[in-house]
Structure 1
Amino acid sequence: HLRPGGWFEMQEVYHFPISASKTRPMPADHPVAQYWSLINDGLAHLGINFHAAADGRLAAMMRDVGFVNVTERVLQIPIGTWAKNKVLKTVGLYWRTILTDGIQAIALGPLTRGCGWSREQVELFLIEVRKAYMDNSMLAYMPLHIVYGQKPEGY
């Protein structure tokens, strides 16, 4: 239980890749973009909202339940080693490793139960997605939403 005046923080990654390139946006037919779009479709068929972190929704939910001083920060987590900053380059390597190591575990439920794919279809599709994750040319990142707020006095 949170005491009145106490602070609560949530962190959520919006798992849809965005290109940091001003001249080359992430095309919808890019295998990584297709992957996350299909995951979204599969989860939607299973009744799960994949976009909980997007468009200020977490901050709005906190305000809706009475939190005050709600603040949202959005950071860019690079996918891969394209970032010039040494720390972000390392973060991107780790993030890509997490995403590729979990690619099958993330995909199987939504794509088989949600989209009706066979396991073999999923495995074949994931070959292209794994290859695409290794390509740094898209300058892909995922937004990390950090939202915090204060429980009002008297609650």
Structure 2
Amino acid sequence: MLGAIGDWPRLTAQAYNAIKPGGYFEILEPAAHIISDDGSLPADSSLAIWNNLFVTAASKFGRSVVEAPLYKDYLRDAGFINIHEEVFKLPNSPWPKNKLLKEAGGYQMVNFLEALEGLSLRMFQAAYNMSVDEIHVLLAKVRSDIKNKSIHTYYNLHRYVAQKPHSINLE
């Protein structure tokens, strides 16, 4: 759903109203800030530049792609209870030594590479007046960075499970 929802508090309120008492609502969403714990992502790398352009362009269109850490508050404000939050590291390529994370990173890399042009073209043209050729040059460099196993990046993937109360206390 990354960037598809313009008003997450409204969506969570609508979900609350649609769910039967006692029912559950689950959200699994990344925060689109690319992170590197070991300094392997230089601030002037094409991937870091692309990420900053992407996050800023999305906000120019009224879409936050980094709002996932706030969803717990939105769920609580909508009336959900028993809110459980987990945050996972989702590697952007198969760089981790851990077998499960390496596999997840391989799948995420394919996903990232397939989505990159669609995520960038229209937004970068409109937000920054970049030409298609300029964007394609940047994306070629971003693809190279993503495939570089010495660059250790990931997204924080947020998972929330929340329950609608069985009954509403009117006291």
Question: Structure 2-normalised TM-score?
Answer: 0.82
Q: Deviations over 1:21-49 (max 9, x none)?
A: 2xx26332221121111011211222222
Cα deviations across residues 102-123 of structure 1 (Å, max 9, x unaligned)? 1111101210112221111111
Q: Does 1:38 align with 2:53?
A: yes
Instruction: Tell whether the 8 Å contact from 2:90 to 2:105 is kept in structure 1 after alignment.
Output: yes
Q: Does 1:82 align with 2:100?
A: no
1:27 to 31, 42, 48: 42
Question: Is the partner of 1:17 in helix, strand or coil?
Answer: strand
Conservation of the 8 A alpha-carbon contact between 2:33 and 2:66: no
5+ long unaligned stretches in structure 2 = 1-17
Give the match for residue 127 of structure 2.
Answer: 114
Quick check: 1:16–1:33 contact (8 Å CA) kept in 2?
no
Which runs of 4 or more aligned residues in structure 1 lie more than 6 Å from their structure 2 counterparts after TM superposition?
A: none
**Aligned-pair CA distance for 1:135:** 1.2
The amino acid of 2:60's aligned partner reads: H
**Which secondary structure does the structure 1 equivalent of 2:64 belong to?**
coil
2:68 is the counterpart of 1:50: no
**Partner residue in 2 for 1:73:** 86
For structure 1, which segment, 26-35 or 88-97, has the greater mean C-alpha deviation from structure 2 after superposition? 26-35
Identical columns (%): 28
Q: CA–CA distance in 2 between the matches of 1:29 and 1:8? A: 40
The residue that corresponds to 1:15 in the other structure is 32
1:68-113 deviation line (CA, Å, top 9, x unaligned): 1111100011121211122221111110111012111110121011
Distance 1:50 1:116 in 2: 21
Using CA pairs under 8 Å that are at least 6 residues apart, name the structure with larger relative contact order, 1 or 2. Answer: 1
Aligned residues, how many? 151
1:73, 1:26 → 2: CA distance? 25
Deviation at 1:19, TM superposition (A): 0.9
What SS class does the counterpart of residue 152 from structure 1 fall into? coil
The amino acid that maps onto 2:141 is E
- Alpha-carbon distance between aligned partners in 2 of 1:48 and 1:79, rounded to the nearest angstrom: 22
| Cα separation, 2, equivalents of 1:146 and 1:12 | 7
Q: Partner amino acid for 2:143? A: R
Indicate the RMSD between aligned Cα atoms, in angstroms.
1.4
